[in-house]
Amino acid sequence: MSSSQEDIRNLTDREYEYGFVTDVEQDTAPPGLSEDIIRFISKKKNEPDFMLAWRLKAYRRWLELNEEDARWAKVDFSPIDYQDISYYSAPKIKPKLDSLDEVDPDILETFKKLGIPIEEQKILSGVAVDAVFDSVSVATTYKAKLGELGIIFCSFSEAVQEHPELIKKYLGSVVPYADNFYATLNSAVFTDGSFVYIPEGVRCPMELSTYFRINEAKTGQFERTLIIADKGSYVSYLEGCTAPMRDENQLHAAVVELVALDDATIKYSTVQNWYPGDKNGKGGIFNFVTKRGKCKGRNSKISWTQVETGSAITWKYPSCILQGDGSVGEFYSVAVTNNLQQADTGTKMIHLGENTSSTIISKGISAGHGQQTYRGLVEIHQRAKNARNFSQCDSLLLGDRCGAHTFPYIDVRNASGKVEHEATTSKIGDDQLFYCQQRGIDPEDAVSMLVNGFCKEVFRKLPMEFAVEASKLLEVTLEGSVG
Amino acid sequence: MLEIRNLHAEIGGKEILRGLDLHVRPGEVHAIMGPNGSGKSTLANVLAGQPDYEVTAGEVLYHGKNLLEMPAEERAREGVFLAFQYPVEIPGITNAYFMRTSLNAQRKHRGEEEIDAVDFLSLVREKMKLIEMDEKFLNRSVNEGFSGGEKKRNEVLQMALLDPMLAILDETDSGLDIDALRIVANGVNTLRSEKHAVLVITHYQRLLSYLVPDVTHVLMGGRIVKSGDRSLAEKLEESGYGWIEEEVAKGGAPA
Ligand SMILES: Nc1ncnc2c1ncn2[C@@H]1O[C@H](COP(=O)(O)OP(=O)(O)OP(=O)(O)O)[C@@H](O)[C@H]1O
Ligand SMILES: [Mg+2]
């Protein structure tokens, strides 16, 4: 083993920076899952009957589903005991706040530790922050300003109360309650999340942003996000998260649904940095997320950009259903696996309409014993005349103990379809590192420079403030992983 | 400035340098010649701190400090520069960004302020003019897709920019056309001062006619077996290394 391999190892051996727990009194349901618990959640949230009915339908369906069927991904973990999870927890806080002064100072402190000063964000970047702290929104800003434009940006629970007609119409319209094991579970027990509605012709003047944070031990997180962009509207939505250090694996099974009507554009960006577990893989987050967007209208566009650095296991395929003629789907992804992290991620582009097009750019970085799989599906249906797709999947290996795997599935049912696929695998070579060192560059800096270079295409797609954060995250994640 | 005593080094379990001695004073230019596989690049790499090489005996003092103890990046910051025989490609990083990062790492080490993008650009442009390199190379990825000669020129550009105390050029003249050779020589000559020293590894006396080294050495079998003035380089080009081998075999002490 050369000594730069050692350097890489030293670099990778950095402890998770955000390991701390905030002490906020929680109002927690006892562990376990039953119809009673679902009724409890629904009641606690004061939901209308249609919501409870929907949850119960999902729950009954979930009982029939087998988790094994969702285990086709190239990830490996011990079984989850769903009766050992508590399905509801909420900080004891008045739900509605007008200013940050009313927010629990502990929570604000937590955000500060995470390097996410809300105040600064508001002032500096004009980002409206809907902070979801353990399932209940505690700070919502800029609501008034958005309200003037008719934009709705609120917690999911609030939307259920205030805009039940929109929820009724769109909930489950992209990810049906019976979609898959984890999405079905989410449909039964989700506690909160975000809701966005952009009215016809409105361009949302700021990036909408939610920071998620898992804070209660053994509380599975079941977020639900629904974004609807009405005709000719535009919205850019940011999602980012970190989690405190924990000894038990925490399940996160979120669902995100996007709906774009005629000529509307939704840009959804994620920076995900959940606790990946320690060096032995103990205590990390299981991130099993169902994210899907439907380009329902003509010439609509949905663009997913993600930077995934955290979690012990990531299982995630943000997808686009290109139903409207001329609609466009995009997927730009950077995923990093270090130590014993496993990621099975990718996208699905389902071309239904004519002249639909999709672009997939996936950059996978593996270090330590990290294992990473890209799994992509491009489906061009019979009716989808002149559909086209371009896919590019690049893998970068740091060190000699990690792995990268690429599985592109292509299914073209219309002869006029055009599908291009490119894939590369490269290694940060010892010779490249030495070249940098010989010019005086610190090996850690060299690695982050090389990795940033590798990810440039994707970072360019992120909103400014996110791009900076993303490249910082990458640095932290890969520290100690030169080789 | 550089004091190499009885240096032994190996790679892949094979001993390449076997008791090498070399003494370079500030202001001097030394040429090192020698047959293929004799250990010239090995010497260059050992001095630069390439981790694959293991030093098994001997010492190297640089400005009186133990060079072998320093990690490679520190040697670089202390002014040791290696123009590689085979420069590597670094996709995704522009040449300009790379050079600025490198320059700033070195400036920081010296306690100087970082150079900003604007000042850097004017500095690097000046150096590019000197070695007649097109500015378009600034925005290309480091060495990616560069021709052999372009890579060598890029090494010289970095050298000119970083202004090293001890520059080691490993066959920088190989693969260069006649014009480029002269330009590279000019680049090296700008480093000439009482403080700077240059080690030039080459197979050809052509470069040496532009550079005019103070001493020329012959490296064979992992040691310096002969040192002399410029005429040595000329003689080698005429007659090859056979006669030196014979001399060494006869037990002739290295001159
Ligand atoms: N990894 C390795 N394992 C074993 N032997 C090696 C290794 N790397 C280099 N060598 C050997 O070390 C010897 C010296 O190589 P070096 O590159 O120093 O020669 P050189 O004098 O620079 O030659 P040239 O003039 O061809 O550039 C060669 O015989 C080479 O094959
Ligand atoms: Mg050589």
Q: Whole-angstrom Cα distance, residue A79 to residue A346?
A: 23
Q: Whole-angstrom Cα distance, residue B77 to residue B108?
A: 9
Say whether B235 sits in a helix, a strand or coil: helix
The answer to ipTM > 0.85 is yes
- Across the interface, whether the CB atoms of A450 and B52 are under 8 A apart is answered no
Q: How many CA atoms lie within 13 A of A272 on its CB side?
A: 30
Q: Whole-angstrom Cα distance, residue A1 to residue B67?
A: 23
User: Which pLDDT score is estimated for A413?
Assistant: 93
Q: Whole-angstrom Cα distance, residue A237 to residue A227?
A: 9
Rg (CA), chain A: 22
Cα dist from B123 to A18, A247, B12, B128, B186, whole Å: 41, 53, 41, 9, 17
Task: Report pLDDT digits (tens) over A177-197.
Answer: 999 999 999 999 998 888 999
Q: Whole-angstrom Cα distance, residue A310 to residue A455?
A: 16
Q: Whole-angstrom Cα distance, residue B112 to residue B106?
A: 9
User: Which pLDDT score is estimated for A213?
Assistant: 38
Residue whose structure tokens are 């917690």? A155
Q: Whole-angstrom Cα distance, residue A74 to residue B13?
A: 40
Structure tokens, A29: 């349901």
Q: What percent of chain B has pLDDT over 70?
A: 98
Instruction: Write out chain A residues lying below 8 Å of B87, CB-based.
Output: 435
Whether this prediction's pTM lies above 0.80 is answered by no
Rg (CA), chain B: 18
User: Which pLDDT score is estimated for A59?
Assistant: 95
User: Which pLDDT score is estimated for A121?
Assistant: 38
Q: Whole-angstrom Cα distance, residue A88 to residue A81?
A: 16
A183 vs A368 pLDDT, higher one = A183
Q: For residue A445, what is the nearest residue in chain B, using CA coordinates?
A: B101
User: Which pLDDT score is estimated for B24?
Assistant: 97
- Angle at which helix B95-109 crosses helix B148-162, to 10 degrees, equals 30
A469 vs A93 pLDDT, higher one = A469
- Across the interface, whether the CB atoms of A443 and B102 are under 8 A apart is answered no
User: Which pLDDT score is estimated for A218?
Assistant: 38
Identify whether the C-beta of residue B62 lies closer than 8 Å to the C-beta of residue B78. Answer: yes
Instruction: Write out chain B residues lying below 8 Å of A436, CB-based.
Output: 73, 90, 98, 102
How near does any CA of chain B get to the CA of A302, in Å?
A: 27
Q: Which amino acid is at B22?
A: L
**Cα angle for residues A366, A371, A375 (degrees, 5° grid):** 100
Among residues B213, B200, B148, the alpha carbon closest in space to that of B175 is found at: B148
Average pLDDT over residues A452-478: 76
**Is A445 in CB contact (< 8 Å) with chain B?**
yes
Q: What are phi and psi of B45, to 5 degrees?
A: -70, -40
Q: What percent of chain A has pLDDT over 90?
A: 37
Cα dist from B186 to A111, B130, B167, B207, B212, whole Å: 57, 8, 14, 11, 12
Among residues B236, B174, B222, B233, the alpha carbon closest in space to that of B29 is found at: B233
Q: Whole-angstrom Cα distance, residue A303 to residue A359?
A: 9
Q: Which amino acid is at A81?
A: D
Q: Distance from the CA of A299 to the center of ligand 2, in angstroms?
A: 59
| pLDDT reading at A61 higher than 90 | yes
Q: Whole-angstrom Cα distance, residue B210 to residue A179?
A: 75
Average pLDDT over residues B68-77: 97
**Is B52 in CB contact (< 8 Å) with chain A?**
yes
Average pLDDT over residues A275-287: 74
* DSSP code per residue over A155-212: EHHHHHHH-HHHHHHHTTSSS-TTSSHHHHHHHHH--EEEEEEE-TT-B-SS-EEEEE
**Nearest CB neighbour to A437, from listed B52, B76, B141:** B76
Among residues B175, B178, B222, B159, the alpha carbon closest in space to that of B32 is found at: B222
Q: How many CB atoms lie within 10 A of CB B178?
A: 8
| pLDDT reading at A277 higher than 80 | no
Cα dist from A73 to A315, A339, A373, A375, whole Å: 7, 19, 9, 9
Instruction: Identify the helix (H) or strand (E) that includes residue A425.
Output: strand A418-427
Task: Report pLDDT digits (tens) over B5-20.
Answer: 999 999 999 999 999 9
Mean pLDDT of chain A: 79
User: Which pLDDT score is estimated for A481?
Assistant: 62
Task: Report pLDDT digits (tens) over B230-243.
Answer: 888 888 888 888 88
Structure tokens, A419: 């599908």
pLDDT band for A365, please (50, 70, 90 cuts).
confident
Preferred mutation among A7, A396, A434, A455 to probe B, highest tally of B CBs within 10 A: A434
Burial (Cβ within 10 Å: 0-12, 13-18, ≥19) of residue B179: exposed
Q: Whole-angstrom Cα distance, residue A272 to residue A473?
A: 9
pLDDT band for A104, please (50, 70, 90 cuts).
low
| pLDDT reading at B201 higher than 70 | yes
Please give the DSSP secondary-structure letter assigned to residue B67: G
pLDDT band for A105, please (50, 70, 90 cuts).
low
Average pLDDT over residues A278-283: 70
| pLDDT reading at A55 higher than 80 | yes
Q: Is B61 in the pocket of ligand 1 (CB under 6 A)?
A: no
- Angle at which helix B230-239 crosses helix B242-249, to 10 degrees, equals 110
Q: Is B42 in the pocket of ligand 1 (CB under 6 A)?
A: yes
Cα dist from B192 to A329, B125, B185, whole Å: 59, 21, 11
Q: Which amino acid is at A373?
A: T
